[in-house]
Amino acid sequence: MMPTRTLLGIPNELLTPIFSYACADGGKTGATLSLVCREIRDICKSTGADITTAVLCGEKQLKRFLFMLRRRPYYARKVRSLFLYPTPQPLDDPTGDVRCKDNRKAVSYMLAILKTITAYHLVTLSININTGRLPHPLVPLVPFQFPSLRELSISGPLSEDSFQQSLIAPRLERLRIMDYDSVPPDFGEHLTRLFPRLTHLRIDTPSETGNSPALPRFLHAYCKLQRPSAEVPPSPPVPRAGHFAGLWGWPNLQLQLPATTVAEDLAVESASISTSRPRPKPVPPSLHRIVIAFRPSVLNAADGTVLYQRYASVHRRIYKKIASEQNFYTIAHREDEVDKRKKSMLIILPDSELYADPMNLNRRAFWIFSQDFKHWEERANGTGKGCWV
């Protein structure tokens, strides 16, 4: 009579990858698996197979996960994909917007989790570090060493110091930055220094920070790499109503703005020979895909009608000129599926500056959360392109 075979009769070397593959849903299967029996729970605790991916939203979940990690040996803290959000899912919370709360404890738990997990296993990370209170604590872009990190999505009050104090992620290929405060003037040089293998960059810029010339300068440098010796011709003069339009019988008074190029508008200096220490390249060498989008900011919700500003009006013109410059340098809008090294760029320009949104703040906060989670999930389990349209 053949002996009865059970799951526990399979060697742990075979069970561990099976469990890890099954637990790629953010933690639900891992939590259920640990309840099956003591033997399976011991396997999970000693290998980390049940925490291959983790979705942690809110202070309570973050705190529990951190304490669980600390009870395990270091080699059993193997998290491959991580989604960190400072508040419970907005649908469960009537106040909605993550930026309106005091999330400092939640953010401190996030940083503690990143410091506690095994650094060599983290591949995909999505983190929202909005503390909701001023002054914002300094959080580096990459606060700890993650040698295997390939994809990073970060949202929060990033500043110039966040880039300057960030550690290097040598294998990072895809970077998404959302809702930042500011980027450094030498933005591209920081990217080259921190992420030497960067291939994809997406920036969802909030409208209130749209006036900085750092990002347009970086996009101009990226376009010019296509044909460094070519110079974009000045755009034709743009008629604009003057300050005295409609006064003293001059209803049609127009001012002619001078014809300028993007480089002239941004005061970009021409390349020159320098004897000083060589600086990093203004654009990462491997970068071939850029997506620029604009996250609206709330202007007025007093009467129940929520008004949003799509992006800052001061640099509305410069982004349109960069889009024209992109056409001059023949940089595609879509990513080439055959030639992955071919440069492409997509600037998602809104049609108008202001618009009314029938969704209340809570529903909109949940929509933003669900989109960010969907993009992370697709990249974590390999089922889609995520935010890389």
pLDDT at 149: 97
Strands 306-309, 297-300: pairing is: antiparallel
Q: Which residue has the higher pLDDT, 119 or 211?
A: 119
In total, how many domains does the chain have?
1
Beta-bridge mates of residue 345: 290
Distance CA 210, CA 126 (A): 23
**H or E segment and range at residue 309:** strand 306-309
**pLDDT exceeds cutoff 80 at 346:** yes
Does residue 246 sit within a domain?
A: no
- Cβ atoms of 287 and 198 closer than 8 Å: yes
Reported confidence tier of residue 253, pLDDT bands at 50, 70, 90: very low
**pLDDT exceeds cutoff 80 at 94:** no
Distance CA 306, CA 157 (A): 23
Reported confidence tier of residue 90, pLDDT bands at 50, 70, 90: low
Inter-residue long-range contacts of 312-318, CB under 8 Å, 24+ positions, other chains counted: 312/207, 312/208, 312/209, 312/210, 312/211, 313/353, 314/210, 314/211, 315/210, 315/211, 315/213, 315/216, 316/353, 317/238, 318/213, 318/216, 318/262, 318/265, 318/266
From the list 376, 386, 387, 383, the residue with the least C-alpha distance to 123 is 376
pLDDT at 24: 67
Stretch 171-187: mean pLDDT: 91
Average pLDDT, the chain: 77
Does residue 67 sit within a domain?
A: yes
Percent of the chain beyond pLDDT 70?
63
For every residue of 150-175, DSSP letters joined together read: -EEEEES---HHHHHTPPP-TT--EE
Distance CA 104, CA 98 (A): 11
Stretch 75-90: mean pLDDT: 87
For the stretch 196-229, pLDDT in tens is 999 999 998 876 555 678 888 899 999 988 888 7
Does residue 344 sit within a domain?
A: yes
**pLDDT exceeds cutoff 50 at 369:** yes
Does residue 243 sit within a domain?
A: no
For the stretch 53-69, pLDDT in tens is 899 999 999 999 999 89
Stretch 297-322: mean pLDDT: 61
- Cβ atoms of 192 and 281 closer than 8 Å: yes
**pLDDT exceeds cutoff 60 at 77:** yes
**H or E segment and range at residue 364:** helix 361-381
Angle at 197 between CA 178 and CA 370, to 5 degrees: 30
Q: How big is the chain by its Cα radius of gyration, in Å?
A: 25
Distance CA 27, CA 25 (A): 6
Q: Which residue segment(s) compose the domain that 174 sits in?
A: 10-233+262-269+281-381
**pLDDT exceeds cutoff 50 at 10:** yes
* CA dihedral (257, 261, 264, 266) positive or negative: positive
Stretch 337-362: mean pLDDT: 71
Stretch 255-277: mean pLDDT: 59
* CA dihedral (153, 194, 76, 73) positive or negative: negative
Q: Which of 145-149, 262-266, 348-352 has the highest mean pLDDT?
A: 145-149
Distance CA 389, CA 380 (A): 16
Of 3-17, 165-179, 221-235, 271-285, the range with the lowest mean pLDDT is 3-17
pLDDT at 113: 96
Does residue 2 sit within a domain?
A: no
Does residue 1 sit within a domain?
A: no
Distance CA 197, CA 171 (A): 6
Does residue 343 sit within a domain?
A: yes
Of 47-56, 251-260, 317-326, the range with the lowest mean pLDDT is 251-260
Distance CA 378, CA 237 (A): 45
Does residue 251 sit within a domain?
A: no
Distance CA 321, CA 326 (A): 9
